[in-house]
Amino acid sequence: ADDDDADDDDDDEAENARNAPTNPPPPPFRESTSSVWVSNHGCVTPTHFDLCHGLLTQLEGAKRALLVAPEHARSLYAGADVPVECVNSSPVDLPLWLEGVGDVAEAHRARYPNVKNVLGEVYEVVLTPGDTLYVPPFWWHHVTTLGGEDDDDDDD
């Protein structure tokens, strides 16, 4: 009977090993709040903030991130013109507001005039392969995936 108990213990240990997390993230990160996002050239993540810590690591190509501190939520029209479940979102297209030219950009600036309050306080980061950007909770960010080496113009 002792041999049967030993076999049961081995089975329990094997089952526990299969169900145990193999590499749990360190605090303050948790598996329930961890995500992996993958994008290609031209993808845009509109202006928003996250409730959790974020690490944006670039593997290939490049990304441009524009970041704005949490205290500018009102200037970014937090939750305005978006569905109720998107209160962490902003209707402001930061690159268009900051750099756009023409009638569309002017109309966007006229619709969201308070964005002028963040001028001089927008942080720009361009990530290239091997770079990692830490985005603290509640920091507003807009991310654009830029072209990689294969997307360069052939005018050499």
pLDDT tens-digit readout, 39-59: 778 889 999 999 888 889 998
> Taking residues 82-107, what's their average pLDDT?
89
Give CA–CA dist 100/88, Å, rounded.
Answer: 24
What are residue 137's phi and psi, to 5 degrees?
A: -55, 145
> What domains, with CATH codes, occur in the chain?
40-146 (2.60.120.10)
Average pLDDT over residues 125-135: 94
pLDDT band at 127 (very low <50, low <70, confident <90, very high): very high
The answer to whether residue 123 scores a pLDDT higher than 70 is: yes
pLDDT digits (tens, 9 = 90+) for 134-149: 999 999 999 999 975 5
The confidence score (pLDDT) of residue 155 equals 42
What pLDDT, on a 0 to 100 scale, did the predictor assign at position 13?
66
Q: Which two tokens stand for residue 9?
A: 């213990």
**pLDDT over 90 at 4, yes or no:** no
The pair phi, psi for residue 89, each rounded to 5°, is -115, 155
User: How far separated are the first and last CA of the chain, in Å rounded?
Assistant: 80
Task: Please report the pLDDT score of residue 124 as a whole number.
Answer: 97
> Alpha helices of 64-152 — where are they, by DSSP H?
94-99, 103-111
Residue 152 has pLDDT above 60, yes or no: no
Q: What is the reported pLDDT for 53? A: 87
Determine how β-strand 54-57 pairs with β-strand 132-135.
antiparallel
